[in-house]
Amino acid sequence: MKVTFLGTGTSQGVPVIACPCEICQSSNPKDKRLRTSIKIEINNKVLVIDSGPDFRQQMLRSNTKQLDALIFTHEHKDHIAGMDDIRAFNYFSKKAINIYATTNVQDALKREFHYVFSDEKYPGIPEVKLHTINTEHPFLIEDIQVSPIKVLHYYLPVLGFRIQDFVYITDANHIEPKELDKIRGAKVLVLNALRRQKHISHFTLDEAIAIVQEVKAERTFLTHISHQLGLHNEVEKELPQGIHLGFDGLELTI
Reply yes or no on whether the pLDDT at 214 is more than 90: yes
CATH code where residue 189 lies = 3.60.15.10
Count of beta carbons in the 10 Å neighbourhood of residue 132: 13
Reply yes or no on whether the pLDDT at 229 is more than 90: yes
From residue 38, alpha-carbon distances to 58, 118, 136, 223 in Å are 9, 29, 23, 10
Reply yes or no on whether the pLDDT at 254 is more than 90: yes
Reply yes or no on whether the pLDDT at 191 is more than 90: yes
* In the chain, % of residues over pLDDT 90: 98
pLDDT digits (tens, 9 = 90+) for 54-75: 999 999 999 999 999 999 999 9
pLDDT digits (tens, 9 = 90+) for 144-190: 999 999 999 999 999 999 999 999 999 999 999 999 999 999 999 99
From residue 11, alpha-carbon distances to 16, 143, 223, 243 in Å are 10, 32, 12, 23
Query: Per-residue pLDDT averaged across 220-239, rounded?
Result: 98
Cα 250 from Cα 247, distance rounded (Å): 6
Residue type, 124: G
Cα 63 from Cα 42, distance rounded (Å): 16
Residue-number span of the structural domain to which 120 is assigned: 2-253
Instruction: Say what the pLDDT of residue 119 is.
Output: 87
Instruction: Say what the pLDDT of residue 150 is.
Output: 98
Reply yes or no on whether the pLDDT at 236 is more than 90: yes
Instruction: Say what the pLDDT of residue 232 is.
Output: 98
pLDDT digits (tens, 9 = 90+) for 108-151: 999 999 999 998 888 899 999 999 999 999 999 999 999 999 99
Instruction: Say what the pLDDT of residue 120 is.
Output: 85
Number of domains in the chain: 1
Average pLDDT over the chain reads: 97
The band of 32, judged by pLDDT with boundaries at 50, 70 and 90, is very high
Instruction: Say what the pLDDT of residue 122 is.
Output: 85
Instruction: Say what the pLDDT of residue 73 is.
Output: 98
List beta partners, residue 150: 159
The band of 27, judged by pLDDT with boundaries at 50, 70 and 90, is very high
